Structures are given as C-alpha cells and as structure tokens.
Structure 1
Amino acid sequence: MSSIVKQWHSALPHLGYDLPADQPPTTRTAGGVAVNLPLHLARQSLSRQEFWDIPEPVLDQYRRYRPTPLWHAKDFGEAIGAKVPIYVKYEGGNVSGSHKLNTALAQAHYYRQAGVRELVTGTGAGQWGTALAAACAVFSLRCTVFMVGDSLTRKPYRGTLMRMLGAELHASPSGRTAIGSRPAGGGNSLALAIGEAVEYARDADGRAFAIGSGETYSILHQSVIGVEAIDQLGDLEADVDAVVGCVGAGSNFGGVALPVFAAAANAARPQPLLLAAESTATPKLTRGVYAYDRTDATGFGPSEAMYTVGSDFTIPGSHSAGLRFHGSAKLLSAMRHHGQIAATAVGQQEAFTAARTFVQHEGVLPAPESGHALAAAARLATTGVTDRGEHLSARDGILVCVSGHGYLDLGAYEQHLAGLLRDEHADDDLIKLATAALQPVGGKL
C-alpha cells in the first residue's frame, strides 16, 4: 500500500454502549483549571461520527513517514516456535522513534488553531515528550516537558533530543511546581510528571496541557496504524484473528486494534482477539480495579472511569518506562469491562528476551515497551495465554504493533545482557491500599 490514509477511524459507533461520564475534580482552587481543549478534540472524544478527515497540514507531516512498514516476521516466528504467522506493524521510523508523533502532530495543529502558544506535557519514557517537541517545532509552538526523573537518568539522550527540538525539559519531581516540590506517594511516577505539567500549564495564559495516550481523541489519531495495517494485510493476502499491543494508557494498542474491531463490526464478522500487554510492575488491566480515579497526581482534572492500580500507587522501578502509568484509557477500560479486550501482564526479563530475539532475527531493535507486546504475541503464538480463567490462542495469525525503536534504551539492554535485571511485581496489598478509597464504576469493585 503506497497511498496515505486520509481519515481517522473511530470505534465509538460500534461499542454498543456509552462511555461513563467523568466526575468533577476533587481539588478546587480560586482560579480553577484552564483546560483549553480545542473544540475539535472535544468532539472527537464524544461524537459517534465514524470517520474524521485528517487536516491537510497534518497529512503533509504524515507523508514524511507514513505509511509505516508491515511485514511477516517469519524468522522471529520460527525462532520462538510459533504455530501461526506473526505480522509486525512498525511505528519507530520517525524523529520521535514511536507512534506518538501521530497524535502529537494532530494536537499541535488543533491547539495552534485555538490560539495556544505553548504546550506543556508530562512524559514517562520520553517518546511522547519527544513527539510533542517535534510537533511544536513544526507548528511554531513553545514546548515544556516534565519527564519522569529516573527515566531521564536512565536515558539522558531522550532529553538531548527534546532540547534539540526546542523543548524546555525538567526532570520530575522538579521543584518548579507545588506538587513537584513535595511529592507524595509514588515520587518518580508518570502521574506526578503529568501533575506537574497540569499545574504549570494553568499558571499562564496561552499555555495548554497536552496528553498523548489515554484520551479518546489521541486513540482516534492513532487509528492510522490499524487502518494502514488492514490494507497492508490485504495486500499480503494475510488473515489474522488476534491483535496485540503494549499498554501504558493505551494509544498504540487502541490505534492498531480498534480499527480492526470496527472493520469486523462493519462487515458483520466475528471479532478478533484483542490482547493488551502490560507490565507486571503496573498491572492495571489484569489486577487493578474498575473505578473512578485521577489521571494525574494533582486532582485538578476530572476523575475518569478506568482500570487502575491507584494514582497514589508507588510503581516499582523497571524499564517498562512508558507502561508505568497507573491507569488505562477510559475507552479501553470500558471495552475491558464489557469483555471486548483481553489482557496479560509481562515481566521485563521476558520482554527484553523477546526484544533480543526480534532484533537478532528481524533486524529491528524494539523499545522495551514493545518488547512486552512481542512477548505477549510469542505466548499467544505458542502456548496461548490465560485471561480471567479463559485460555486464549490464535488460529490464523497475529498482528502485533512494535510501537517504537529501542536505540535510546541501550543502557537498559546493556543491563539485560549483563544479567542485572529482575522482574518487578506490584504488591497486592499495596494495590488494595491505593484503590481502597476509589469509587467503583457501577457501584461495586
């Protein structure tokens, strides 16, 4: 397929239910919160319109790196003893090194149209921060990024790249915000970095907070991944009955899986298995609760219905990086609740082993986050996975999204080669403590 996708594809018309409404913020200040969300993004989150034209300025940027490659990872499949073909959709071939640029460009375009002059964000592994910095450079916006401090220490060149793109970068907790000066609970967390960004963004006119993963509109923008993949699989005359992606908040998984979900609904075909791969360090979909929780550590924003381990949960240190977010996107959480997606948790040793096998046999070094998706796909293609007591496997083929490259994660891979990594598992008692005060969706956990 050589043509560029010109429309985003929404799955909202095919869910069969409405998403739960957000709850008002738990924290109030005299000045309130300036959300500054452009009308286009609000509509994309709420409307049941199925297809959305991609603005021409965004398409111009997409043409620089899209369509992205899809191929049959035959050698990887043979190396792991796969019983079905595995097809890989690779999103690492742009300046951000990941799928995040797909929504960063769209958001920067819409925010600039709305009169915003500076975008502020929090980032975990740095892929989103890099993508937003790149998009702001394209659309002549200032950019400020708060990056999880231990992630920045482990991968300093992420910070270098953001600064090369013109962004102002702060390690979180930064001391530049009230919440960053006295962090509570999980100090080095994505929730805290996002909280700092939210606080910083509301302190000046012309600033707006931008988020890259969990919002319904960001998942919509990522649908270019799945729309392209459907056409590319058709070109290969390939059939898949399972789609796999890693999940932090869920944008790359939603981007690859939901267009396949919508296409099956439109064609009245059986739904494929949609398998979310998360980290054992932050197992919201497999061990969390479905409740109303904050998306950041401030409480200034609304609480959303999500699968969560608690926004105050102290996340164990690991190289899962972008997967270290306490909750899953509202859209994906609802689909999980209604049995439309499955989930499995992967430890970092298994993820890094899968990534090493992949680079040796396919010539692409995945990001550690993507290693989790490859490990889950390998399970599905060999022994199968168990989710909520049900054994799941693929019969025809598996589509997996390798959401980014790992060339700025070589420090982590060096630790893997040296045998210094160990798996980190979230403690059940700590999850119960962090979620005990949350209001369950539907009345009970």
Structure 2
Amino acid sequence: MSRAEPPARWRSVLPHLDERLPADRTPRTAGGGSVQVNLPMALVRQSVQLKEYWEIPAEVADAYRAFRPTPLWRAQGFERAVGARVPVYVKYEGGNISGSHKLNTALAQAYYYARAGVRELVSGTGAGQWGTALAAACAMFGMKCTVFMVGGSLRRKPYRGTLMRTLGATVHASPSPLTEVARRAQGDVNSLSLAIGEAVEYAARTEGAAFCIGSGETYSILHQSVIGLEAADQLAGLEASVDAVVGCVGAGSNFGGIALPFFSAAAAAGEKPPLLVAAESSTTPKLTRGTYAYDRTDATGTGPMEAMYTIGSSYPIPDSHSAGLRFHGAAKVLSAMRHRDQIAATAVGQVEALDAGRRFTRGEMVLPAPESGHALAAAARLAGTGAEGNNGLLRAEKGVVVCVSGHGYLDLGAYQQFLDGELSEEAPDPQALRRAVGGLEPVEQLAGAGAVHVR
C-alpha cells in the first residue's frame, strides 16, 4: 500500500536525543588557519538546529514525485525461503534512475548547492549508486558533475561509469593521476576513503566547484527520512506491526533513513522504539568491532575529525563486492546512538549476503544489490533464530521491516561468482584493526566542553 504523495517534510532525530553530540574537530592548515568547508548554510542548519520538521523545497518535492512513494510489501516468498517466524516487510528504494536510495539526498543537495551559486559538484563513490544519483541530480539542476569511483568497483561494474557519463558526469577511477593524495597513497589504495579524498582535493582547487557527500552527514540522513516516514505510513495502512527495523550501513544514510523516523515517533509518543538493527559488512565492522573515537572522514586528512565508531581510516579493508559498505566509519549521529545502545548492529559476510539476495530474488522477483543483501540476511536472522549483535542476541517477535536500498542489475558479476562458488570471506586482521585505531583519541563521553547541544 502507498499513499498518493511522498512526505512534504523531512523529520530530524536531533530533538529526540538526550545527549549532546561531540563537536567536530577542524584540522589546521599549514599556515595555521582552519580548513574552510564550502557547505550551503541550509545544510549547516539542517545538521545542528533542534528543528524536528523541515519543509521539502518545491523543486525537490516535484522531483521526488517521479519515483516516490516507493513500494512496501510483505515479502511472503522470502519469508518461506528463510523460514521466518514473523512477517518481513520490504521497503524498496531501487526504482529510480540511480537504482538506490541515494537520489533522495542527491536531489536535495544539488538544489541547495545550485542556490548557493556552485556550478560543479565533486564526490567520491564506492559501488557507484551515489555517483549515479549525484550525476542525475546535477543534470536536473543544470550543474557539472565529477565523480571519483573506487577503481576496483569501477572495473567490476563498468556500466555504472557508463550511466554516470550518459547523465553528463566526468568519471575517474580512484586512485587517479589527478591528485596529490592519490600519489601519496600507501597500503590499501582501493578504498572509498581515498576516492573521497581525491574528490575533496580536486574540488578545493577547481573554481566554482564544491565537494559533497551522500551518506554519513547529518543533513543527508535527514533527507533520507522520507524512507522511514513512508514506511511507517504504509505499515499503518496495512494494519501491520513490527518490532524490528533493518538497513545496511556503509556510513549510514540508508539505515538512518529507514530507522530514525521510527525512533523519533516513539520518542515523541513516550514509547519504547523498535529494535533498530544496522547490518554491516564483516570486512568493515565499525559498529560491531570498532572504537568510538575521533577519526578523519577522508584520506586527505583535511576534513573535520568526527566522533565515530571506526576501524581506522588507514585500515586496509579487505576487498568485497559490497563496495558501498566499505567505509571505515559510521555517521556521528548513528555512532552516538550506538554508544547509548539506542541502535544495534550485526555483521554479515558477502557470501551470506548474496545468498540472501538469491533467496529474495526467487521469492520476490526483485534483484537486490549486494549491499542490500546484508540487510536481508540480517532480517532473515531476526525473523528466524536471531542475530548476534554488538549487545547480545537480537530477535523480532512481531515483525521486521527492512530497507532494500537498491537493485543489483549492475552487480550480476557478484552473483555470478557466488553461483559459481568462487567467493570467499576475508576476515579482518585483529592486529591490523588495533594498529589502525591505535593513535586515535577515544570519545570518553557524549557530553563535554564544546559539544553541540541536541536537546
């Protein structure tokens, strides 16, 4: 069931958090000044103000109507395939030009940057959904677009690059010969952190350009709240009750989008929220095995140091087909909530994720992205015997709603390797994890001097 119109407003979780978020720490330049961030004030306000509802601009709302509301249904075929004890409902975000939820914030960001006078947006992308979404949004708002895509992912999925170029974007495989950060890169050079670092450097030296990011920032999670707002409305229309909400986590916009509106609604009503479960890649286990510390968000080291659950920006993340999940840290809002046990996390390997994707494809006739396979695997665990999480066994007793954040039609190479039995798991090296976070400053508590007040 869906309603005729998408939400008219985004909903922020910030007014419902009891603690203060630790303030970012801005690096200093060689000359002693602070690094300047070229961010429209509208996005700054959306990141810090204790305003619960934000009106969606008319131009963005018009663009949303082309693909929203997105469908929600009970996945009975998937339930049978995994032996679910309770109903599993699916919120599907793969039906737009980008093939993923990323378009929700790409359209909003392009709108605000265009109004601020920016002529070109530059970003890094892992699996390519964000790069595709940004290319589409730039085309819609008459802007140039440059994307640095993780090279290994681009080689596996060249048609992602083709689609971005068709939409008018310039695409570079990362590491590229264009930036100093790529020339200095050592160790793992096939990372999203490096691609983002290249984009930051390129945008800083290009007139009329600005770097933008699609996942971990508080404003991007706000824009994604349309997912959870619609899902709650659609579940009510079906007279369905769930006690668990699941999404996969790279930096956090997909999970935040589906889960945080449920948290906000419960907090506003003085009720206990559902179990909110972040499904991460076992190759990048920041929420289940990481450290809550200040870490950098990109490979240049010029971006702000944020309080996050991290495995270290220098950690050589093992290669996998879930490139969209291969980011070393989780969003600061989600990290703060994880620190207070307001969200839970479970790690899933790529073989289990692709197996869940295969079962979902056969049961529901929809092919999910490998990233979404992690969420489906976690949902299957919750609806079955339970999932091992960061704080014990996680189980649903009423029902599960899971966000399938994108389609897998450009990921068929991953499914081919899975079906041919060619995929394996590479567990993180515990010693390497310890080394990667060894020099980071732990976040001792959420409240503290200079923290941002969120209540």
Shorter-chain TM-score tier:
over 0.9
For 1:54 and 1:180, locate their aligned partners in 2 and report how far apart those are by CA, in whole Å: 37
2:94 alignment partner in structure 1: 92
1:9 to 11, 14, 25: 11
For 1:155 and 1:315, locate their aligned partners in 2 and report how far apart those are by CA, in whole Å: 19
2:333 alignment partner in structure 1: 331
C-alpha spacing 1:108/1:389, structure 2 compared with 1 (3 Å):
closer
1:81 alignment partner in structure 2: 83
For 2:46 and 2:93, locate their aligned partners in 1 and report how far apart those are by CA, in whole Å: 23
2:213 alignment partner in structure 1: 211
C-alpha spacing 1:225/1:204, structure 2 compared with 1 (3 Å):
same
2:310 to 300, 308, 311: 308
1:246 alignment partner in structure 2: 248
1:190 alignment partner in structure 2: 192
Aligned: 1:23 with 2:25: yes
> How far is the alpha carbon of 1:205 from its aligned partner?
2.4
For 2:8 and 2:30, locate their aligned partners in 1 and report how far apart those are by CA, in whole Å: 41
- After the TM superposition, which residues 409-424 of structure 1 pair with which residues of structure 2 at under 5 Å, given as runs? 409-424=411-426
- After the TM superposition, which residues 41-52 of structure 1 pair with which residues of structure 2 at under 5 Å, given as runs? 41-52=43-54
For 2:213 and 2:445, locate their aligned partners in 1 and report how far apart those are by CA, in whole Å: 29
2:262 to 260, 269, 283: 260
1:36-58 superposed Cα distances (whole Å, 9 cap, x missing partner): 10000000000110000000000
For 2:375 and 2:388, locate their aligned partners in 1 and report how far apart those are by CA, in whole Å: 15
Q: Which runs of 5+ in 1 are unaligned?
A: none
For 1:101 and 1:389, locate their aligned partners in 2 and report how far apart those are by CA, in whole Å: 33
For 1:342 and 1:329, locate their aligned partners in 2 and report how far apart those are by CA, in whole Å: 14
> How far is the alpha carbon of 1:28 from its aligned partner?
3.8
For 2:18 and 2:350, locate their aligned partners in 1 and report how far apart those are by CA, in whole Å: 36
AA at the equivalent of 1:53: E
With the length of structure 1 as denominator, give the TM-score of the two structures.
Answer: 0.98
> How far is the alpha carbon of 1:320 from its aligned partner?
1.3
Aligned: 1:287 with 2:289: yes
3-state secondary structure, aligned to 1:71: strand
> How far is the alpha carbon of 1:184 from its aligned partner?
2.0
For 1:389 and 1:232, locate their aligned partners in 2 and report how far apart those are by CA, in whole Å: 30
Q: Contact 1:377/1:398 (CA < 8 Å) preserved in 2?
A: yes
> How far is the alpha carbon of 1:2 from its aligned partner?
1.8
Q: Contact 1:27/1:298 (CA < 8 Å) preserved in 2?
A: no
For 1:127 and 1:282, locate their aligned partners in 2 and report how far apart those are by CA, in whole Å: 19
1:368-408 superposed Cα distances (whole Å, 9 cap, x missing partner): 00000000000111111222352221111001000000000
AA at the equivalent of 1:230: A
1:397 alignment partner in structure 2: 399
> How far is the alpha carbon of 1:104 from its aligned partner?
0.2
3-state secondary structure, aligned to 1:144: strand
- After the TM superposition, which residues 152-191 of structure 1 pair with which residues of structure 2 at under 5 Å, given as runs? 152-191=154-193
> How far is the alpha carbon of 1:34 from its aligned partner?
4.4
AA at the equivalent of 1:37: L
Q: Contact 1:242/1:399 (CA < 8 Å) preserved in 2?
A: yes
For 2:59 and 2:252, locate their aligned partners in 1 and report how far apart those are by CA, in whole Å: 26
1:47-102 superposed Cα distances (whole Å, 9 cap, x missing partner): 11000000000001000000000000011101111000000000000000000000
Identity over the aligned pairs, expressed in percent?
67
> How far is the alpha carbon of 1:426 from its aligned partner?
1.1
> How far is the alpha carbon of 1:29 from its aligned partner?
6.0
1:228-271 superposed Cα distances (whole Å, 9 cap, x missing partner): 00100011000000000000000000000000000111122211
> How far is the alpha carbon of 1:425 from its aligned partner?
1.4
For 2:186 and 2:56, locate their aligned partners in 1 and report how far apart those are by CA, in whole Å: 41
2:429 alignment partner in structure 1: 427
1:192-227 superposed Cα distances (whole Å, 9 cap, x missing partner): 000000000000221100000000000000000000
- After the TM superposition, which residues 137-156 of structure 1 pair with which residues of structure 2 at under 5 Å, given as runs? 137-156=139-158
For 2:387 and 2:74, locate their aligned partners in 1 and report how far apart those are by CA, in whole Å: 22
2:107 to 105, 108, 119: 105
Q: Which runs of 5+ in 2 are unaligned?
A: 447-455
3-state secondary structure, aligned to 2:444: helix
For 1:372 and 1:392, locate their aligned partners in 2 and report how far apart those are by CA, in whole Å: 15
2:68 to 43, 66, 69: 66
Aligned: 1:365 with 2:346: no
After alignment, is 388-397 or 292-301 more displaced?
388-397
AA at the equivalent of 2:395: S
1:165-184 superposed Cα distances (whole Å, 9 cap, x missing partner): 00000000001000112312
For 1:93 and 1:210, locate their aligned partners in 2 and report how far apart those are by CA, in whole Å: 23
For 2:379 and 2:187, locate their aligned partners in 1 and report how far apart those are by CA, in whole Å: 34
Q: Contact 1:123/1:194 (CA < 8 Å) preserved in 2?
A: yes
3-state secondary structure, aligned to 2:210: strand
For 1:157 and 1:28, locate their aligned partners in 2 and report how far apart those are by CA, in whole Å: 40
For 1:409 and 1:32, locate their aligned partners in 2 and report how far apart those are by CA, in whole Å: 41
For 1:76 and 1:29, locate their aligned partners in 2 and report how far apart those are by CA, in whole Å: 58
For 1:183 and 1:31, locate their aligned partners in 2 and report how far apart those are by CA, in whole Å: 25
For 2:63 and 2:31, locate their aligned partners in 1 and report how far apart those are by CA, in whole Å: 39
AA at the equivalent of 1:302: P
For 2:207 and 2:322, locate their aligned partners in 1 and report how far apart those are by CA, in whole Å: 35
AA at the equivalent of 2:392: E
C-alpha spacing 1:317/1:264, structure 2 compared with 1 (3 Å):
same
> How far is the alpha carbon of 1:33 from its aligned partner?
4.2
For 2:252 and 2:223, locate their aligned partners in 1 and report how far apart those are by CA, in whole Å: 12
3-state secondary structure, aligned to 1:442: coil
> How far is the alpha carbon of 1:24 from its aligned partner?
1.8
For 1:389 and 1:184, locate their aligned partners in 2 and report how far apart those are by CA, in whole Å: 35
3-state secondary structure, aligned to 2:320: coil
Q: Contact 1:28/1:300 (CA < 8 Å) preserved in 2?
A: no
After alignment, is 327-336 or 183-192 more displaced?
183-192
C-alpha spacing 1:301/1:29, structure 2 compared with 1 (3 Å):
farther
AA at the equivalent of 2:404: V
Q: Contact 1:177/1:199 (CA < 8 Å) preserved in 2?
A: yes
AA at the equivalent of 2:270: A
